[in-house]
Structure 1
Amino acid sequence: MDLYSFFNSSTSYRVRIVMGLKGQDYNFHPVNIRVMQQKEADYVAKNPSASVPLLDDDGFQLGQSMAIIDYLDNKFPEPRLIPQEPQPRARVLEIANLVSCDMHPLNNLRVLRYLVKELGVSDEKKNEWYHHWIDEGFTSLEALLERTGSGQYCVGGQVSLADCCLVPQVANALRMGCDVQKFPRIMAVYEHCNALPAFQKAAPAQQPDFQK
């Protein structure tokens, strides 16, 4: 399998975590979204979303991290990251969708770039935007984790898609200087998962294309 990824992309980060949890090796292809490589014609031909990540499984090309993770979870079912029982499955998807649908799209690089370059928003106001949506999203996420009785993991006693979405989002929030210590359940999951080899291996600083 081939994975097209950018070290600091939280969506790529999610997929790297899952690949590690599934014990799957892959060929790494860097796509530098800071210089718009995802918009180059040869890449867009592979991934019409013009984004990262992209998984190429022997010619089957799939973009969008949540679709990729669902594909991997069905192809390599151990460990199961999206539960099959209705209620745990719904809880995992509720948390994962809060991060991937409500939070991440508002604060990803192309949105921040548009705010600054097209709308003339100052860096200070851009950071206010970022912090606002992190705070609002994490307030909701903390309440959902209280509902699930989270401990080391978001839902139940094993790793799930919810954790794979939470960790990259927290990492980005820390990088942007957000106050996350007021969310103890979120931070407990983040700290526990970051002690696991698959999460450590997937971290941005461990990627071949890492840059400060």
Structure 2
Amino acid sequence: MNVLSTLVFTQPVLHGYFRSSCSWRVRIALALKGIEYDQVAVNLIKDGGQQLTHEYKTLNPMQQVPAVEIDGITLSQSLAVIQYIDETRPGPRLLPSEPKKRAQVRMISDLIASGIQPLQNLHVIQKIGAEKVQWAQHFIHRGFDALEPMLKQTAGKYCVGDELSMADICLVPQVYNAERFKVDMSMYPTIQRLNQSLLEVEAFQVSHPSCQPDTPAELRA
């Protein structure tokens, strides 16, 4: 029996924050797959951080966003959510079927999701204090210095060849963060080119932080 045939599919509920890069990754994946979902805003700043409440901790013990309720389970790591969606829903593949390309997609995604983004997320930045911009710039540069030559080897129209993948889903939010921290992107022409191409894709536009229900009015597109 096909395992998928035993699953009861439900409309996902995404608990996230408009400017969270991890939440944005999930929004992009859902949009690429054409999956309708509900959003519950978790404001990371208001009331001392709504992710720190006991109620939210039951959804995500790490008290981070996103948390996604889907098919009777709750998932709380963006790459795990994306891979689950890819394995259970029809639509364009987010990980290539060919093993070498799939490994490249995972390599790029992990570099961003583990090697860059956590070092400049809100919890870390709040601990750094006055030097937060310099801290973020340092670790984004360090990651992009590795990512740029890597992408020169793997990229076609997108991060790995000419098909959209989880690597692209990770790239765009990280470039958005780099621009927020005023990183000089002229040093990374391949990253810039890919980001510009991806921002022309509808799924990346509708999921953008400027277009979410919890986006403050002054930041809306």
Aligned residues: 204
**What is the letter of the counterpart of residue 143 of structure 2?**
G
Per the alignment, do residues 58 and 90 of structure 1 end up closer, same or farther by CA in structure 2, a change over 3 Å counting? Answer: closer
State the match for 2:4 in structure 1: none
Gap regions ≥5 residues in structure 2:
1-11
Query: Do residues 142 (structure 1) and 148 (structure 2) align?
Result: yes
State the match for 1:89 in structure 2: 102
* Cα distance in 2 for residues equivalent to 1:155 and 1:9: 24
**What is the letter of the counterpart of residue 88 of structure 1?**
K
* Cα distance in 2 for residues equivalent to 1:193 and 1:43: 32
State the match for 1:164 in structure 2: 169
Q: Show the 5 A alignment for 1:62-81.
A: 62-81=75-94
* Cα distance in 2 for residues equivalent to 1:157 and 1:67: 23
Q: Quick one: which of 188, 200, 219 aligns to 1:195? A: 200
* Cα distance in 2 for residues equivalent to 1:87 and 1:202: 29
Identity in percent? 42
* Cα distance in 2 for residues equivalent to 1:152 and 1:107: 28
* Cα distance in 2 for residues equivalent to 1:112 and 1:105: 10
* Cα distance in 2 for residues equivalent to 1:65 and 1:43: 16
State the match for 1:210 in structure 2: 215
TM-score (norm 1): 0.93
Q: Secondary structure at the match of 2:96?
A: coil
- C-alpha offsets along residues 75-116 of structure 1, whole Å, 9 cap, x if unaligned? 114211111221001110110011001001111010001112
* Cα distance in 1 for residues equivalent to 2:36 and 2:215: 19
State the match for 1:11 in structure 2: 22
- Does structure 1 conserve the Cα–Cα contact (< 8 Å) formed by 2:17 and 2:42? yes
Query: Do residues 128 (structure 1) and 134 (structure 2) align?
Result: yes
- Does structure 1 conserve the Cα–Cα contact (< 8 Å) formed by 2:34 and 2:91? no
**What is the letter of the counterpart of residue 147 of structure 1?**
Q
Query: Do residues 20 (structure 1) and 44 (structure 2) align?
Result: no
State the match for 2:188 in structure 1: 183
- Does structure 2 conserve the Cα–Cα contact (< 8 Å) formed by 1:152 and 1:193? no
- C-alpha offsets along residues 156-197 of structure 1, whole Å, 9 cap, x if unaligned? 111000000000000111111111122111011100110011
Q: Which region of structure 1 is more displaced relative to structure 2, 62-71 or 41-50?
A: 41-50
Gap regions ≥5 residues in structure 1:
117-121
- Does structure 2 conserve the Cα–Cα contact (< 8 Å) formed by 1:151 and 1:188? no
TM-score (norm 2): 0.90
